[in-house]
Structure 1
């Protein structure tokens, strides 16, 4: 008799943890960013990140897409090359994830999104899970090729695990 056991993959676990940690960033009435300290804050203040999803070239087709609230974070997983530790049993890999942080373009006031990037790093740096460890920032890039929005791409790296048996 076989028993099916659900095991979360590294990408699924990373996605869930990133989304949960982004929900910890709040914004108060004075547009100041902070980290939520319990449920009391969540009842009074707004979440700073309004939308989280998987990346699907979302900013390239703004006019054709269903609008999503901003700031938004889209998670893109880079190809993963697994190395066998024990063939057929255990694998490890360098896992890279791009966070496409999309904010409204505020002409002349382009510093707010950089403060958001710092708060995002604050809640994500050092994340660990069952299938990954040492999640941390690797590369940052700002994409100005859009009329209405600014897209900052923050690349994070971690060591991923895959256990098959």
Structure 2
């Protein structure tokens, strides 16, 4: 379930683009493009520059190699599986934190919050073979960093694990 969910989240987040005017849009699906169209970042600049698994990344900024921002780190919060059929099928309602990290910018119109809304539009209702009902649960803004802002968007879903 985690691998499938991570891959789907990453694919959806990579599809979010932003133009020079700061307007967000979804990258066209490669299947909808003609052979001469190029899916590179110059033609379709990604709104999110870096996507990875969470590993307390913002806590060690001075010690890590810098990553481009905006960045999204996906964290799977520990969760408990409940047996539907013991030894065969399990169900859970995991929480998934998206750590959305942007550069701090003193401005009247805080664009970070628009980005969070666009991320939600990309992800709300996402489902796969081993999960469904992916939707937002809560939000928090972490101001404890000098040069960045970390918004934590918590999502939940219904997850399935089939062993046989």
Same fold (TM over 0.5): yes
Aligned twin of 1:7: none
Write the mapping of 1:14-163 to structure 2, written as runs, cut at 5 A: 14-39=5-30, 40=37, 42-43=39-40, 44-109=43-108, 111-163=110-162
C-alpha distance after superposition, 1:49-71 (max 9, x if no partner): 00000101100111110110000
Alignment TM-score, normalising by the size of structure 1: 0.90
Deviation at 1:19, TM superposition (A): 0.2
Alignment TM-score, normalising by the size of structure 2: 0.91
Deviation at 1:109, TM superposition (A): 4.3
Query: Which whole-Å CA distance do the structure 1 matches of 2:63 and 2:57 have between them?
Result: 10
The structure-2 alpha-carbon separation of the partners of 1:109 and 1:59, relative to structure 1 and needing over 3 Å to count, comes to farther
Query: Which whole-Å CA distance do the structure 2 matches of 1:52 and 1:145 have between them?
Result: 21
Query: Which whole-Å CA distance do the structure 2 matches of 1:99 and 1:41 have between them?
Result: 29
Gap regions ≥5 residues in structure 1: 1-9
Gap regions ≥5 residues in structure 2: 31-36
Query: Which whole-Å CA distance do the structure 1 matches of 2:123 and 2:106 have between them?
Result: 28
The structure-2 alpha-carbon separation of the partners of 1:110 and 1:64, relative to structure 1 and needing over 3 Å to count, comes to farther
Query: Which whole-Å CA distance do the structure 2 matches of 1:24 and 1:119 have between them?
Result: 11
Query: Which whole-Å CA distance do the structure 2 matches of 1:19 and 1:120 have between them?
Result: 11
Deviation at 1:80, TM superposition (A): 1.5
Query: Which whole-Å CA distance do the structure 2 matches of 1:35 and 1:114 have between them?
Result: 18
Total equivalences in the alignment: 156
